[in-house]
Amino acid sequence: MNRLIIIVFAIVFYGSSWAAPVMPQPKMAKINERVYALLGPMGQPSAHNQGYMVNSTVIIGEQGVILIDSGSSDEVGSHLLKAIAKLTPKQVTHVINTHHHGDHVLGNSVFQGAEVISSEICREMVNKTGHEWIALMEDLVGHKLPNTRPVPATVTFAGENARAERTIQGVKLLFWIPKGSHTVGDMMVYLPDDKILAGGDILVNRTIPVMRDAMVKNWLGTLEQVQSFDARTIVPGHGPLMKLEDVNRLERQMARFYAGIEAGYKKGLSDSETRKTLDVREWKKLEGFDANIGSNVSRAYLEVEQASF
């Protein structure tokens, strides 16, 4: 008898310690009867979180579900699909991407048959950079993602600072393409009847805004415009739900940062010298500070330099 028990024990004991880390569950935030935020863990994609670190918005419409942002891989997309199935038996009929970064678009392939919607530039960027993003995600999560492939949008909105209103699944949606802010092809989605704004990574909470691909000055203008919406609840790209006062705080922090970069440039300091002059005490408390402050400074400095020519 004992042999069997020992074998079972060994499988259970060692099996659990060998098992790959389990993808963390989203925090489900019910905003109203038909809109939920699935809040992902904070932090960079990693072996620990299996690449799951983004926020998504789930809108349960008349016949189907609209999902905003689909995760970093087919694995994350499937994980989101399971979470959505706990909320509703309806299928996902529409996937909206707020921008082309891998953590927001690489789960698209899971939602077969769904219409994928983004800005026109986001679609181009998914085509251009999708495979690079997959390679980066594989690197960060520490394993291959053979089923992940870039799926660009089939319905797109063009223009700069353009707005388009559509009713999808009985839900009124305002698609807003601000001037390129976090990336060249950002899009935000406002639900005027629900007073909910899905901001993508233009709006982040308790985590440092990532400026690697940003147009910082445009971003500041966009944050100003966001505050003219009557949004009661804001789903940021990363971090807990926000209110308009959080947007205002983000705008002030970013404006101070940009002014500090301008001041350094005007004094003739290099970007690394400028960095030492910045007051980053508030940002130091935020997730992702060490990973991003250097590239944020370089990007903003370059922008200030180009603007002065």
204/278 with CB nearer Zn ion: 204
CA angle 75/80/83 to nearest 5° reads 130
Q: What are the Cα distances from residue 4, in Å, to 8, 11, 13? A: 6, 11, 14
Residues 98-117 that bind Zn ion (CB under 5 A): 103
Q: How far is the CB of 292 from Zn ion (least distance, A)?
A: 12
Nearer to Zn ion, 201 or 246 (CB): 201
Q: Which is nearer to Zn ion, 75 or 201 (CB)?
A: 201
Shortest Cβ 54–Zn ion spacing (Å)? 5
Q: By CB under 5 A, tell whether 45 contacts Zn ion.
A: no
Q: What is the DSSP string of 205-262?
A: SSBPPP-TT--HHHHHHHHHHHTTS--SEEEEEESS-B-HHHHHHHHHHHHHHHHHHH
Q: Does 201 bind Zn ion (CB under 5 A)?
A: yes
Nearer to Zn ion by Cβ, of 237 and 264: the residue is 237
Of residues 116, 154, 150, the one with CA closest to residue 135: 150
CB of 184 to Zn ion, least distance (A): 15
Q: Please, are residues 257 and 286 in contact by the beta-carbon 8 Å criterion?
A: no
237 binds Zn ion (CB under 5 A): yes
**Site membership for Zn ion, residue 69 (CB under 5 A):** no
Which range of residues in 14-22, 88-96, 165-173, 237-245 is near Zn ion by CB under 5 A? 237-245
Q: Per CB under 5 A, does 287 bind Zn ion?
A: no
Cβ neighbors of 281 (< 8 A, separation 6 or more) are none
Please give the structure tokens belonging to residue 91: 């299928």
Footprint of Zn ion (CB under 5 A)? 103, 201, 237
